[in-house]
């Protein structure tokens, strides 16, 4: 006998055909994987996660969730990571699109691409659509881009957001490094209702980011995360992740070169000197990069 429970179990395994071509599996990223940004997390919970999870409650309260939320800030501050986290925590379908991927030199193809993304999102609702690099897809008109293509693409995007058919169960999340380059028409109320800035992390946030990226690693007692946070002022989450990865590889290299029996890992540790060496190398690279820019 086939029961309702059997159908519900089968639903967990079936991927919606509407988004097979562009469907990205819900990432295994939790809120705890995002260092700091507690206020941003709370806003996203209230505006994305809750309306999708507690739809009936929002309907009873006669409260419409926002259609769109825009994340902005310098590169590497965690915009894509937090988008993955909200999709994972909300347990809904997730369509991720990079702005430049939709743009086409063929007449009408860019607009068709936008229509297709929204069509699939509606069919696969509840769903989060994440447009990364939205400034490439909808740049400020008159900013030097091909105005004819830009106008058509922005008009199509606005038509989808303003459409007569309500985007029930669909939330649009977008990210940009250059808020000033996004066309102002997208930033009006009823489109991207929330503009959330992800800033350069402060010291406490850097400590939390180091905790995330050193979790489970065999750190020596002389590794102090507070000291590492002090030494990385001005760096963003992506920089800290790279530092932890490079430091681990440095420690592994040293261990392999100094131990004949590499199968015995009991003495392997990541030491403070490994982090110090990585930070020195990072500093040299940044100075070289700055010098290269200054010489142009």
Domains by residue range for the chain, with CATH: 4-197 (3.40.50.300), 203-295 (1.10.8.60)
Best CA proximity match to 121, nearest among 155, 87, 154: 87
Q: How confident is the model at residue 205 (pLDDT cuts 50, 70, 90)?
A: very high
Per-residue pLDDT for 104 more than 90? no
Most confident of 23-37, 104-118, 155-169, 241-255: 241-255
Per-residue pLDDT for 125 more than 60? yes
Least confident stretch, 10-24, 36-50, 92-106, 144-158: 10-24
State the average pLDDT for the chain.
Answer: 84
Q: For 218-277, how does the pLDDT look when each residue is reduced to its tens digit (9 = 90+)?
A: 999 999 999 999 999 999 999 999 999 999 999 999 999 888 777 788 889 999 999 999
Q: What is the pLDDT of residue 14?
A: 52
Residue 233 and residue 200: Cα distance in Å, rounded? 9
Least confident stretch, 52-66, 101-115, 175-189: 101-115
Q: How confident is the model at residue 90 (pLDDT cuts 50, 70, 90)?
A: confident
Cis peptide before 16 (omega within 30 of 0): no
- Residue 160, class by beta-carbon neighbours within 10 Å (0-12 exposed, 13-18 middle, 19+ buried)? buried
Residue 170 and residue 119: Cα distance in Å, rounded? 10
- Residue 10, class by beta-carbon neighbours within 10 Å (0-12 exposed, 13-18 middle, 19+ buried)? exposed
Q: What is the pLDDT of residue 142?
A: 67
Q: What is the pLDDT of residue 248?
A: 96
Q: What is the pLDDT of residue 20?
A: 43
Kindly report the pTM of this predicted structure.
0.80
Residue 234 and residue 279: Cα distance in Å, rounded? 13
Q: What is the pLDDT of residue 235?
A: 94
Q: For 34-65, how does the pLDDT look when each residue is reduced to its tens digit (9 = 90+)?
A: 988 999 999 999 998 888 888 899 889 998 88
Q: How confident is the model at residue 29 (pLDDT cuts 50, 70, 90)?
A: confident
Which residue stretches of 69-139 are H helix? 79-90, 99-102, 109-123, 134-137
């Amino acid at each position: 006998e086939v029961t309702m429970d059997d159908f519900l179990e089968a639903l967990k395994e079936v991927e919606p055909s509407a988004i097979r071509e562009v469907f990205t599996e819900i990432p295994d990223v939790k809120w705890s994987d995002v260092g700091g940004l507690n206020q941003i997390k709370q806003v996203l919970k209230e505006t994305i996660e809750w309306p999708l999870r507690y739809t009936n409650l929002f309907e009873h309260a006669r409260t419409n969730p926002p259609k769109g939320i825009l994340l902005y800030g310098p590169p590497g501050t965690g915009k894509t990571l937090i988008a993955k986290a909200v999709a994972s925590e909300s347990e809904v379908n997730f369509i991720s699109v990079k702005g430049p991927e939709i743009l086409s030199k063929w007449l009408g193809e860019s607009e068709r691409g936008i229509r297709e993304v929204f069509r699939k999102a509606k069919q696969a609702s509840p769903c989060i659509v994440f447009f990364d690099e939205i400034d490439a897809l909808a740049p400020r008109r008159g900013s030097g881009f091909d105005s004819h293509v830009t106008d058509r693409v922005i008009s199509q995007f606005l038509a989808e957001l303003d459409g007569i058919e309500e985007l029930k169960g669909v939330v649009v999340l977008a990210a940009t490094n250059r808020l000033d380059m996004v066309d102002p028409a997208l930033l009006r109320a009823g489109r991207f209702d929330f503009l959330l800035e992800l800033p350069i992390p402060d010291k406490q946030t850097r400590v939390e980011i180091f905790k995330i990226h050193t979790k489970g690693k065999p750190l020596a007692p002389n590794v102090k995360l507070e000291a590492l946070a002090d030494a990385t002022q001005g760096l963003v989450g992506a920089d800290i992740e790279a530092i932890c990865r490079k430091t681990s590889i440095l420690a592994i290299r040293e261990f392999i070169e100094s131990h004949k029996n590499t199968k015995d890992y009991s003495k392997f540790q990541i030491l403070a000197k490994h982090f110090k060496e990585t930070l020195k190398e990072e500093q040299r690279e940044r100075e070289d990069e700055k010098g290269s820019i200054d010489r142009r």
